[in-house]
Amino acid sequence: MVQVSGRVALVLLILVVALMAHFWPQISSSFMTSTCPSLESGFYSLRDQSNYCTQDSDCAVIDTGCQLGCFAFVNTNSSMNNLLALSTQFVKAGCGVCNKACIQPPKQEEIICSGGKCVINVQN
């Protein structure tokens, strides 16, 4: 095994940090361009699969954060936890920027089942 003096180790560490700082925009950009679209499409696909109902009581609303539309309608028996986990991953990965304010999600009594989908009751 090769012995490295303290000064050489320090110089190597500084060199590695400098190289990472220099190339970080390309590394993070590459990461985001591959990860973010995948997380986003997975989220929207699962959201669409989770929005089904036969009666009003099947419907619920979850907070998804402004990066992913603020809230989503889902069936109470769907995989809400998976949707919330994908939403959290999306935000933690630095995907999307919140450039809008979210409106207050509808109350449970404002959500109805219409055409097999959970929607806001616009007739109230």
Is 87 a member of any domain?
A: yes
pLDDT score, position 64: 86
Greater confidence, 20 or 104? 104
Structural domain harbouring 63: 6-120
* pLDDT (mean) for 76-98: 88
- Asked if residues 44 and 67 have their Cβ atoms less than 8 Å apart, the reply is no
Please indicate, yes or no, whether the overall pTM of this predicted structure exceeds 0.75. Answer: no
Residue type, 18: A
**Domains: count for the chain:** 1
Least confident of 29-33, 37-41, 76-80: 29-33
Strands 117-120 and 111-114: antiparallel
Greater confidence, 26 or 111? 111
Is 51 a member of any domain?
A: yes
Is 79 a member of any domain?
A: yes
pLDDT score, position 14: 55
Q: Tell me the residue length of the chain.
A: 124
Is 1 a member of any domain?
A: no
Is 100 a member of any domain?
A: yes
Strands 117-120 and 59-65: unpaired
